[in-house]
Amino acid sequence: MRDGTPAVVLGSLNKWTLNMPRSYIEVTAFGDTNKVYVPDLQDVGGTIGGFYDMATPGPGASDPLFDAAEGDVPVKLGLVPDSTDATRSWEGLAYLDVSVDVAVNGAVTITGNFKGAGPWTRQGGA
């Protein structure tokens, strides 16, 4: 992470989304010829998905993804869209939840959601 905190791999992720919608507050005044708005704060959240890493220690041992999902303390999450250019990323504090999907004829997969729990920043780019 940018602040020197070592990153912890949450699993073998193969997809993620980052949603940063913004709502707007109406500030229309008498005499305005149309409605007028100002931007509200962004609502940071998204999804993660991938494969459960069977090499991860089992019950009773540390498993970063499930530790984060079961805890009440936000974690620092970093999202890098291109592994060949780690200078471009989004990162911030987030609460995580996770689901596990096990099928008799397929890989064990994980999906999860996250919501911003503090400041988020974008690194790199123009």
DSSP labels for 62-96? --HHHHHHH-SS-EEEEE-S-TT-TTSEEEEEEEE
61 pLDDT exceeds 90?
no
pLDDT above 70 coverage of the chain, percent: 83
Tell me the pLDDT tens digit for each residue of 36-60: 999 999 999 999 999 887 665 555 5
The Cα-based distances of 90 to 1, 19, 48 in angstroms read: 10, 11, 14
Instruction: Kindly indicate the confidence band of residue 66, based on its pLDDT and cuts at 50, 70 and 90.
Output: confident
Alpha helices (H) in the chain, listed in sequence order: 64-70
> What does CATH list as the number for 12-123?
2.30.110.20
Mean pLDDT of 96-100: 92
